Amino acid sequence: MKRILTLGMILCASVMGFAQSDTTGKQDKNVPDTIRVGGMIIVRKSGGGREILREKKHDDDHVSSGHRKYSKPSNVSTNWWILDLGFSNIDDKTNYASASTQSFAPGSTDETFKMKSLKSRNVNIWFFMQRLNAIEHVVNIKYGLGLELNNYFFDDKSVHMLKNPTLITIDPAYAELHKNKLAADYLTAPIMLNINFTPNRKDGFGISAGVSGGYLYSARQKIKNGGHKSKTHDDFDLMKWKVSYVGELLLGPVKLYGSFATKSMWEKGLDQTPYTVGLRFSNW
């Protein structure tokens, strides 16, 4: 029985070997075999040699990063409705002993206008921002238009702003207020030079710096005492135009912004330069 099985296995092996030799013999030796491996094509030539070819990529191919794909950046990119959330404050360099300060804010000292840092908020709503390619999408020009909304909460709630004529007094009746703030809102247009270190990534790394020009379109003092609220609308001799240094830091998905005005926010009496810092929520 064992001899019969052995003889059968030898016979099967011989038939398979003959069939393989016969099939190979019928192939056209002039037609090379090809094997595709990823972006390479391996060609087996009739003489036994091999040639490796690489497929060319088109310029408009997508760039793949993990499971995410990004197209080649466009020369002009627009980002709509950007939101900034941060803090407003002032750099106070006022000489409170001077006659001009005491005539504008009688009885004030360097403690009068100190802000509540965590309550003094800055909210910016940008209608749009555009990024214009300058050099290989690494160097860009960024510009836009939006609203800057600043709320300055006084630590000393007795600050009372009067109008016609403008005067800032220390009012003992205000001392027990629950809330006392100055709001200053600007229509602002920034322009910045942007350096994008990772132009082919959506959440990349970069830095921007430039200037902005803002026009004061609304100002008011708002007080709250219990459930009673009151607003006084006036410019209070705030500067109508504000020019600021602005900057932006891109750290992947985290985007930071900041601004620092070039001079005091007041036309007279006080030397207080406003600045802001916070988080920016945008696509780039």
List the CATH number of the domain containing 263: 2.40.160
Domain annotation covers residue 132? yes
Domain annotation covers residue 167? yes
Domain annotation covers residue 18? no
pLDDT tens digit string along 32-69? 566 665 556 666 666 656 665 555 554 444 444 444 44
Residue 94 is predicted with a pLDDT of 97
| pLDDT greater at residue 71 or residue 76 | 76
The count of structural domains within the chain is 1
Sequence-ordered list of residues with C-beta below 8 angstroms from that of 21, at least 6 positions apart, any chain = none
Domain annotation covers residue 172? yes
What's the mean pLDDT in 260-266? 98
Residue 10 is predicted with a pLDDT of 52
Supply 80's token pair. 């709509």
Buried b (16+ CB within 10 A) or exposed e, 3-28: eeeeeeeeeeeeeeeeeeeeeeeeee
Supply 30's token pair. 């002039």
| pLDDT greater at residue 201 or residue 90 | 90
**Which residues constitute the domain of residue 209?**
73-281
* pLDDT for 77 beyond 50: yes
Supply 178's token pair. 């629950």
* pLDDT for 208 beyond 70: yes
| pLDDT greater at residue 39 or residue 151 | 151
Residue 176 is predicted with a pLDDT of 87
What residue has token string 């027990």?
176
Domain annotation covers residue 68? no
pLDDT tens digit string along 161-197? 999 999 999 999 998 898 999 999 999 999 999 999 9
